[in-house]
């Protein structure tokens, strides 16, 4: 199926900058329901359209939902990949219309896979997991302030706030439990994932909520999606260090926590980690390797529907 028009959409807090290729037309609409409707209307009648929307910390959600709901082909693209693509083209200026043009060129060159939007329950679970993470971060910050506080009235204020946040955390945990119990598929996935030493319910639920592709991609693709695929800076004969980055930061953070536990208590991954250390690998490089191997194992378990002992 041929694509007639490639569309780049750069999302900011208040507006959407749009670029159409190959016509070169560009325009902007507001980032709200009316703006999305206007964009859908303007794209109507242009033939087969493929739209790239850059992930911008959640601002893209309502835009992507509106476009996909109208039956348009839309892909949420990784900002780091788009920026690297722009640099490869020699494009370093940072303005929204330029970004929209680069996104359109990226979509035309790469043809990113268009994935269906998660259904309402999947989106709710993802939002709950994100909210849980935010509350945990707030509790940690307030506890640090409480340790430094000297004034009794300030300590009491911090104690009240921490208590309120802990209550809210308990309620969010309860809602996550209810969501998982309401879905036999999610419950079965969680039961599989927690059979791995080092993977608890929180890690499992983060993966279920924020990486629904688990079990559907190969090992290289799933590692790239989590930002655990190594890449090397290289120019001519000069070759820099291999690094990781991009992907889904929340998933990567959860996997690092699981890797730290697995490196101590999971017999297979502990042995793998020790071999790397003995071979002279830096501790962080070894931990990244454990996280990547753990993700590969989890991906295979979901794909094959087998628990840890049978993986």
| pLDDT tens, position by position, 250-284 | 888 999 999 999 999 999 999 999 999 999 999 99
Helix axes 249-265 and 283-304, enclosed angle (nearest 10): 100
pLDDT in tens, 37-50: 889 889 888 888 99
pLDDT confidence bin for 245, thresholds 50/70/90: low
DSSP characters over 188-253 = HHHHHHTTSTT--HHHHHHHHHH-TTTTTS-HHHHHHHTT-S-EEEEETTEEEEEE---S-HHHHH
pLDDT in tens, 98-156: 688 999 998 888 888 776 556 677 777 778 888 888 999 999 999 999 999 989 999 99
CA distance linking residue 207 with residue 302, whole number of Å: 11
Task: Tell me the chain's radius of gyration from C-alpha atoms.
Answer: 22
Residue 308: phi, psi to the nearest 5? -55, -45
| pLDDT value of residue 109 | 87
Q: Which fold has domain 5-110?
A: Nucleotidyltransferase; domain 5 (3.30.420)
Q: How do the domains of the chain map onto residue ranges?
A: 5-110, 120-182, 209-310
| pLDDT value of residue 93 | 53
Sheet with 49-54, strands from edge to edge, namely 26-30, 15-21, 5-11, 49-54, 73-77
| pLDDT at residue 239 greater than cutoff 60 | no
**Cα angle 155, 158, 162; round to 5:** 135
| pLDDT at residue 244 greater than cutoff 80 | no
Residue of 59 and 12 predicted with greater confidence:
12
Q: What is the model's pTM?
A: 0.59
């Amino acid at each position: 199926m041929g694509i007639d028009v490639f569309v780049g959409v750069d999302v900011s807090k208040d507006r959407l900058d749009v670029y159409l290729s190959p016509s070169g037309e560009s325009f902007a609409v507001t980032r709200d329901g009316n703006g999305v409707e206007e964009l859908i209307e303007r794209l109507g009648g242009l033939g087969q359209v493929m739209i790239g929307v850059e992930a911008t910390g959640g601002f893209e959600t309502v835009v992507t939902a509106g476009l996909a709901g109208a039956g348009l082909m839309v892909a949420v693209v990784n900002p780091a990949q788009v920026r690297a693509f722009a640099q490869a083209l020699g494009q370093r200026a940072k303005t929204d219309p330029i970004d929209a043009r680069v996104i359109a060129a990226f979509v035309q060159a790469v043809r990113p896979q268009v994935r269906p939007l998660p259904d309402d329950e999947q989106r709710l679970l993802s939002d709950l997991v994100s909210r849980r993470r935010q509350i945990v971060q707030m509790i940690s910050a307030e506890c640090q302030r409480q340790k430094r506080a000297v004034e009794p009235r300030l300590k009491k204020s911090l104690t009240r706030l921490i208590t309120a946040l802990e209550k809210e955390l308990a309620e969010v945990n309860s809602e996550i439990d209810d969501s998982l119990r309401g879905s036999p598929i999610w419950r079965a996935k969680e039961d599989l994932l927690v059979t791995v030493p080092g993977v608890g319910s929180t890690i499992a639920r983060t993966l279920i909520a924020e990486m629904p592709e688990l079990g559907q991609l190969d090992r290289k693709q799933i590692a790239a999606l989590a930002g655990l695929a190594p890449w090397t800076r290289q120019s001519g004969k000069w070759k820099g260090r291999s690094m990781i980055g991009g992907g889904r930061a929340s998933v990567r953070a959860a996997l690092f926590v699981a890797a730290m536990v697995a490196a101590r208590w999971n017999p297979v991954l502990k042995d793998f980690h020790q071999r790397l250390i003995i071979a002279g690998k830096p501790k962080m490089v070894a931990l990244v390797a454990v996280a990547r191997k753990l993700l590969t194992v989890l991906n295979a378990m979901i794909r094959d529907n087998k628990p840890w002992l049978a993986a």
